[in-house]
Amino acid sequence: MLVSGQVFTDNCNKRMTEEVMKANTHNVMQFDRERFYFMVQEKINQNDGRPTGTFSVDLRKQHCDCGKFQAFHLPCSHVIAACSSICQDYSIHIPDVFKIHNVFKVYKESLLGLPHEENLPQYEGLTLCHDDSMRRRKKERPNSTRIRIEMDDVEKEKRRCEIFHEIGHMRRKCLNVAGPSR
Query: Given this model, what pLDDT does residue 154 score?
Result: 67
Question: Which residue intervals of 86-172 are DSSP H helices?
Answer: 100-106
Query: Given this model, what pLDDT does residue 61 score?
Result: 92
- What share of residues in the chain are helix, strand, coil (percent, to 5)? 30, 15, 55
Q: Which amino acid is at 125?
A: G
Q: Name the stretches of the chain with pLDDT < 70.
A: 46-51, 154-157, 177-182
Query: Given this model, what pLDDT does residue 111 score?
Result: 75
**15 in a domain, yes or no?**
yes
Domains of the chain: total = 1
| Strand 37-42 versus strand 54-58 pairing type | antiparallel
**173 in a domain, yes or no?**
no
pTM over 0.85: no
Query: Given this model, what pLDDT does residue 182 score?
Result: 42
**131 in a domain, yes or no?**
no
Phi-psi region of 165 (alpha: psi -120 to 50; beta: other; left: phi over 0): left
Query: Given this model, what pLDDT does residue 48 score?
Result: 65
Q: Domain limits at 97?
A: 10-106
Q: Which residues pair with 26 in a beta bridge?
A: 42
Query: Given this model, what pLDDT does residue 109 score?
Result: 80
Kindly list the distances between the CA atom of residue 119 and the CA atoms of 69, 115, 124, 175, in Å, as whole numbers in the listed order: 48, 6, 15, 65
**31 in a domain, yes or no?**
yes
Q: Which amino acid is at 134?
A: M
